[in-house]
Each structure stands twice: as structure tokens, then as C-alpha cells.
A and B are shown apart, each in its own frame.
Chain A
Amino acid sequence: MNPIVKFCGMRSFEDYQKAVSTEASMIGFIFAPSKRQVKAADVSEWTRAKPYKAHQQLVGVFVNESVDKMVQQSIEAGLHIVQCHGSETIEEVTAVKKGTGALVYKTIHHHEGALEEMRQYRDIADGFVVDTKTQDAWGGTGVTFDWQAIPKYTEEANRQNVPCLIAGGVTVDNLAKLQRYRPLGIDVSSGIESDEKKDERKMMAMTKAVNNTYQAPDYLGRFGPFGGKYVPETLMFALEELEKAYESIRHDEEFARQLHKELKEYSGRPTALTHAERLSDHYGGATIYLKREDLNHTGAHKINNALAQGLLAKKMGKTQIIAETGAGQHGVASATVAARFGMSCKVFMGAEDIRRQELNVFRMRLLGAEVIEVHSGGKTLKDATNEAIRHWVANVHDTFYLIGSVVGPHPYPMMVRDFQSIIGEESKKQMNERIGKLPDEIVACVGGGSNAMGMFYPFINDDVKLTGIEAAGKGTETPEHAATLTKGRKGVLHGSLSYLLQDEDGNIIEPYSISAGLDYPGIGPEHAHLRDIGRVKYEAVTDDEAMAALQDLCQFEGILPAIETAHALAYVKQNAQRMSKDQVLLVCLSGRGDKDVHTIQQVLGGDNQ
């Protein structure tokens, strides 16, 4: 959902006409003494001369005006919304509402007691505007307040189920920064003016920036229709607590500093960007670059997220970490982080996976984690996740659930994406430094979708083709695959709505892939959304195709990739030759294949010795 745009302070018929021609959904007039003050009669004349669009609403701003005058002017001007911008009382607001039948918004001036003030207008105000408090003016001064406070205003507004616009010094230049705080709406006046007149170009730039920037999820954790929080009531409290904690560190410089330190000094970031020259020559086409997440501590991108969530857990005062794991990669990352931060760790793992991944189980135990064998359902990742959630429900007070991918209920898909975005951010910087431009296409493998989301997200507003690769197992025409987007139907698993492999009764089907990390019947809700809006293209490759590409990378570049990653490489193998040498194909090399040597040996054993 894009934020509401309100253009305020129209001083003339010309100003008003310009606003109508934009996509702004609210057009505001100042009725209080100010250089932008207008008369109700003018507004009524202007709207008659140039009707506003069906979705546009007229807003009148008053500062400590009498109820009678507000009512009279509001009716004369034909306002949809009366904005009480001064210190109007609850009684006055209620009276204006009754007298006009219009909606009444209350302006809250940002200060320490502002949130409390906002709560007092619950069930009375139909919306809020949060503006900068200044000594001698009631707003309109072009000064911003501390935007770190926005999330808590938004949260309160959401609780009251009303909109909340952010005002004060918003301009085309600081809009991108403002949007990082995900305001429900913006209210601009001086930021769209030049020489004391409304500037059509600035207005257009602003609505375009708001409407074209990819913004997801919304406050309910929805990516289009996907995502959300489909969990039992017993867990809602824990998710709200987590959401609050996450919002509090999201823009916190101290947290960012600590995390950066861990990523750099412990995990070895930034990871390298490698030009795969011989592989490019061999495939004959695109110039191939590899983002080397395999060079991270513990051998995959999973540690980026585990370190960040681990720090958050510590900050929340939790002493226990729990995690689910399939192949054991995320389990190892979680156990590692728990050891590093001095917390206890339980890893839930299906009995079937424990059997298949003996070595990783040993590794997790070596790191001090308790591996809990899960015997329900098909005894794999899906069931391990169920069990981790069940355990969490019963132990929320001291336990932090460290989810390993962009799946699960809100805020996990968003939070894990943000924590993994370091992959794409570094890549963007490195690409610019090395070749002075962005890649033409980026490819990543998709299990739950965390390495792909982390790689794609920083490029989402850029002109770069994005491709996600799912596991087709033995072929999407057989029952043995994990191609969720290619073959799945909409449904709910592990707390969010996405695409799922399921039977006609809505029971989840066990997926299959040679790579345990892609062997998941669901997919992160944001991928479902990106596929449906056409921003990212998804394809599926088989076990055999992945294994062939894996060998190519070993032989031409001396890099043994994880089998998961090999799925992205298989797409490169098939498509590089369709591109030209001056086109750049960037691959997210999500992890290394040391963990897979045993499987690879079993598959290739015969003909590779």
C-alpha cells in the first residue's frame, strides 16, 4: 500500500488546479492566519470552476478556531476533512464532527507527550497529522522532526485503525529517507513550492516517487495479498513484542554499529565480488560475476541473518535461541551465533534430515547446541518448523525464535529480508566501483528465499532483470520437486499466506529436491508478490541440471558451490549464451559445497573417478 499524499496550503486557483491534476488524494487549504490563508468562499468557487477527482478529498486546516466558525466555513467550502491543527479539545473536535458531518483529523505536534495525546483522541479523531512543534508557529515552517519516532505514531494510528500523515519539511529530496520509516501518509506544503507558488514539477516528482517506489509490506505485514500473521492467538503477543523490538533497532545507529562490527570482524564481510572469467568464456555470452556469500563464516549467507537476529534477541533480553533447520546450514549458523553471544540454543530438526545430515548434526552439537529430533509428519524441515513454533508458543517469555529464511508470520519475512539486504547493497557498491554500472540481470536460488530477497531488494527500483531459481527435483512434471511458485496454489503455512505445494484438501505435500536447503513446500510471501506483480521472474531447474553446473564451477573457477547455489548456476549455464559479452550477469553464490561433498560423491561417484 502506498502512503496517502496530501498537498497542502493552496493559495490560489492556479495552485488548486495543479493539485487536482496530480495523483494526490488530499488537497489542503489553510483557514488560519498565515501567508497561505484562504477564504471558504474562494475554495467553493474554485471547486465549482474545476471539480476535483473522485478519489480526492478537500481538507481545511484550522488553528484554535471557534466551533461555530469551523462548522460554517467547512460547510461553505465543501470540506471532506476538518483538520484541527491547534490545541482543540476533545469536546470541540466532537462538536465539529457533529456539526459538519465531515471527518475530523487532529494534528499532534511531535514532543514527548505526543503519543499520550494521540491516545486521548481515540474513537474521536478520524485521522492524525503529526507535525513539527516550533516555538512560535503552528507548523508550515518547513522543519522536520525526528523521524525515528514515526513507527510509534504509525503503530498507535493502526491500533486506532485511522490514517496518520507525517508533516513538516517533507521535500522531494528527503522523501526517500522518510519512506524508510514507512509513514501511512505524507503532508507537504513548502516542499512543493517554488517562489511562493505551488510547483507542478515538484508535485509530480513527489507523487511519482511515492507511487513508483516499491513499498512492502504494509503495517499488517502484507506483500500485496501475501504474508500476514496466521498464527494462534497464543503467539500474537510474541509477534507484537518482536515487531516493536525490531522497529526500535531498525534505524538505531548503535545497533547498526554493533551488527556491522560482527559482520566485518567475525564473519569477514564485505564478501568478495569475483569476475568468473573462464566460466564466462566457456559459456560464451554474458560476463559473469559471483557475489561470494560462500566466503562468509560458516560458509553461507545464513550467518548474516543469524548474527542480526542473535543481536536482537540479546537486546530483547532473551536467553534461549531456537531455530529450525533442514540441511543443518541454518542450524549451524544459529548454534554459532548462540555460542558467540553466550545464549543457549535448541535446533529442531526432522528425524529424516538428522539421518541424512549426520555431519551437520555433529557440528551443531560441537557448537554447544541441543538438536531436537522431530518425529511428526514427514519428519523434515516443515515438521521441524511446526515443532519450533509449538515450542516457542510455550516458552515465549525467555525464548527467541530465529527463523532462517524470509518465511513465517510478520515481521519475519520483512526482517530477514532487511538483514540479508547487505548482500545486494554490497553488490551494488562493488559493481559500481568495478565496472561503473549495475548488472543487467541478477540470479539467485530460492528455497524459502532469503539469499534471493537479500540480493534483489536493493535493486528492486532499478532497471535490472531479477530471476529466482526454484528446485525442480526430478522434474516439475513428476511429483518429486520443490517448485512452489511454478506448481503451487495459494495457502497458509507457518504463519503466512503464500504459494504452497498442497493437495486438493489443503494438506501440505512433502517436497523433494537433491538440495536440502531448497526442499521446502512454501516460499517467502514477498516472492509470491514479486512474481505476481511481474517484478521478478522465477524458473525451476532439475537436480541433474544443478549437478552439471556445479561441476562447471569447480572445474573452470576452482569454487565448489552448495547444491542450492548450483541451481542458480544451472540457469546461468542455460542462459548466458543468449546474452552478449557487454552484458553482465550477477549470481548470488549463496554458499559453499563442503557440506554437500558426501551427496555429490554419491551422485557422481561412478563416472567421476
Chain B
Amino acid sequence: MNKLTEERFQKKENRFVPYIMSCHPTYEASIEIALTLQEAGVDAIEWGVPFSDPLADGPVIQQAGDRARKAGGSLRKALEGMKEARQQGLQAPVVLFTYVNPVLSVGFEKVIEGMKEAEIDGILIPDLPFEESEELRKLCNEAGISLISLIAPSSSHRMEKISRLGDGFLYYVTSLGVTGTRQSFSDQISHSINELKKTATVPVLAGFGISTRDQVRHFQSIADGVIVGSALVRFIGEREQALLSENESKEALKEIKEFVQELIS
């Protein structure tokens, strides 16, 4: 049991889940941003772990990761930062978004332990597909943590077996390719999401490339919610200086809040 599997998240409509990178632009600032997102009314937060070789990410998140690593970011720091955010009043469900190598490096058990301490509800590892996830899935089950699975438009016959083990929510990848903003999406996607919703026992959230208010509305009408990453991460990156300055950080946080509220509106 965790906050993702609770009724509040499972029964909510038009879920909105933003992705931010821990330690981006700094450890402290990323915690404040997480708290700001909660104020803006988001339904959960994806908490990214910086990694040297983020295969599934486009340039925006790659650069944010490089910046975060310069600021001391790592899996350990991400866990520590979330623990602190919880102490400062963060209530929203949180999903740790990390590549598999940092997790292997720290060790599955230790990561789960750290997640429990930081009250992190789910984990999403883009380069750990279904076939490779058995061991971690077992550990997550025992710890009551949701292992979030990705489903792609090309998953076809794999869709059923992945959705059968869906936990927390299913992450439907709305475009082939990496994360990053997109102008347009294939029409086939809405059909495919509808198919998925028929067999899924948990909400289906759409993400990858969604960046504007219209796109958010569009996908909320098809899926059970949306995830926005690169657009927000870029917005944060552009305010790096302000976020780091004592005088301007309040204003920058306010802008981030308004940006998100605009996306949800």
C-alpha cells in the first residue's frame, strides 16, 4: 500500500503529474520546487535521478541531469532530498524516476530501504523492461512500493502482459523517441490508449513530449492523466539564476507555480 494505490489517487480524474530532476538546479532549490508543485495542485510528482547516460531522454533532461550532477546530484541525494521534502510538508505521491545502473550500483535492497524512509511511493526505471524486472518487482511488492511500467505504441502483443502487472499507474509513452517537447502526435495513439484502458486495472497516464495546455487537455480527454517533463524542466532551467538568488527565488517559484497552474487550467 502506498499513496498511489490509495483511493484518492486511483479515483481522481484528469490527473496531472509533473517530472522534475532532483538537485536541479541545486539540492535545496529542487526541494522547494517540489513543494511549489504541491501548492499548484499536482496529483503526484516524478522525482528524477541524474545519470551520465540517460538513454530515454532528450537534450533538455540530459542537460538538467548534467547540471544536477555538478550540484552533487545522485540517487543517494535524491532519496535524501525527498526525505527532507517530506519533513517540510510534501504530501503528494512521489515516483522515483531513475535509470537502472545507479540502482544496481547502490543495490536493489538499499534503494528500497531508502525509498521507504523517504516515503516514496513508486519507482520507474525506463531501461528495465518487463523481462528484466522480476527481481525488483518482487522486492517492490514486499515493500508496498509500486513498480511503474512503461507501455509504448509499439508494445503491441506485449501490452497485455505488461498491463496485467500494472501497479500504481501505467505510463503510456505518447511518442516514439526520447523525452522532449513535440508539436504533434500520431492519431493512432488515442486508439491504442483506449485499447490499453480496456485491460488496465490501474489508471493510464500519458507522457513524453506533452508540453502545452492544449496537449494536456487533449490527452486528459483520452487517458486518465498526463505527465509533463521536458517543458517544465526547461522552464526551471531558464530560471536557474533566479532560483539561486536570495532576492529572486520567491518570484521564480511563483512563476513555476503559475506555469503549472496554467497547464492544468
Contact = CB atoms under 8 A, between A and B. Distances in A.
A137 to B, nearest CB: 36
23 contacts: A228-B131, A230-B128, A232-B55, A233-B130, A234-B154, A234-B173, A237-B154, A238-B154, A386-B55, A389-B55, A390-B55, A390-B177, A393-B56, A396-B176, A492-B101, A493-B53, A502-B105, A505-B74, A506-B101, A507-B69, A507-B74, A507-B102, A508-B52
Contact of B105 (A231, A383, A491): A491
A504 interface: yes
B265 interface: no
Contacts of A491: 101, 104-105
B64 to A, nearest CB: 12
Interface of B: 51-53, 55-56, 58-59, 62, 66, 69, 74-76, 99-106, 126-132, 149-152, 154-156, 158, 162, 173, 176-178
Given A229-B129, A237-B155, A506-B106, A394 B101 contact: no
A479 interface: no
Nearest to A159: B157
B177 A508 contact: no
A237 B58 CA distance: 20
Give me the 6 closest cross-chain CB pairs, A-B, nearest first: A506-B105, A394-B177, A506-B102, A237-B154, A507-B52, A505-B74
Interface of A: 220, 228-234, 236-238, 376-377, 382-383, 386, 389-390, 393-396, 489-495, 497, 500, 502, 504-508
Contacts of B52: 377, 507-508
A256 B150 CA distance: 38
Interface centre among B100, B129, B156 (most CB of A within 10 A): B129
A98 B125 CA distance: 40
Nearest to B104: A491
A20 B106 CA distance: 45
A154 to B, nearest CB: 15
Given A491-B104, A502-B105, 10 more contacts: A230-B100, A231-B55, A232-B173, A233-B130, A234-B56, A236-B158, A376-B59, A390-B58, A396-B176, A492-B99
Interface centre among A233, A492, A500, A505 (most CB of B within 10 A): A233
Nearest to B74: A505
Contacts of A376: 59, 62
B105 A489 contact: yes
A377 B131 CA distance: 29
A493 B74 CA distance: 17
Interface centre among A228, A230, A377, A386 (most CB of B within 10 A): A230
Contacts of B66: 377
Interface centre among A220, A390, A490 (most CB of B within 10 A): A390
A63 to B, nearest CB: 33
Contacts of B51: 506-507
Contacts of B154: 234, 236-238, 396
Given A377-B52, A506-B101, A230 B127 contact: yes
Given A394-B176, A492-B104, A506-B75, A236 B53 contact: no
Contacts, number: 119
A232 B176 contact: no
A505 B111 CA distance: 12
B178 A394 contact: yes
Contact of A377 (B53, B58, B105, B156): B53
A506 B62 CA distance: 16
A506 B69 CA distance: 12
A390 B55 CA distance: 7
Contacts of B103: 506
A508 B53 contact: yes
A237 B151 CA distance: 11
Contacts of B149: 233
Contacts of A396: 154, 176
A377 B151 CA distance: 28
Nearest to A506: B105
A492 B51 CA distance: 12
B51 to A, nearest CB: 6
Contacts of B104: 490-492, 497, 506
Given A394-B178, A507-B102, A232 B62 contact: no
Given A386-B53, A506-B51, A507-B52, A237 B152 contact: yes
Given A377-B52, A393-B178, A396-B154, A233 B129 contact: yes
Contacts of A394: 176-178
A230 B129 contact: yes
B55 A233 contact: no
B2 to A, nearest CB: 22
Interface centre among A234, A377, A394, A508 (most CB of B within 10 A): A234
Nearest to B52: A507
A233 B152 contact: yes
A382 B102 CA distance: 17
Contacts of A508: 52-53, 101
B55 A220 contact: no
Contacts of B101: 491-493, 500, 502, 506-508
Contacts of B99: 492
A220 B105 contact: no
A596 B92 CA distance: 57
Nearest to B58: A390
A238 B132 CA distance: 17
Contact of B176 (A234, A236, A377, A493): A234
A228 B127 CA distance: 11
A493 B51 CA distance: 11
A396 B178 CA distance: 13
Contacts of A220: 131
B176 A231 contact: no
A489 B53 CA distance: 16
A491 B104 CA distance: 7
A494 to B, nearest CB: 8
A536 B189 CA distance: 49
Contacts of B128: 230
A237 B74 CA distance: 31
Contacts of B151: 233
Nearest to B162: A233
Contacts of A231: 55, 127, 129
A75 B225 CA distance: 54
Contact of A229 (B56, B69, B131, B176): B131
Contacts of A502: 101, 105
A506 B129 CA distance: 19
Contacts of B127: 230-232, 492, 495
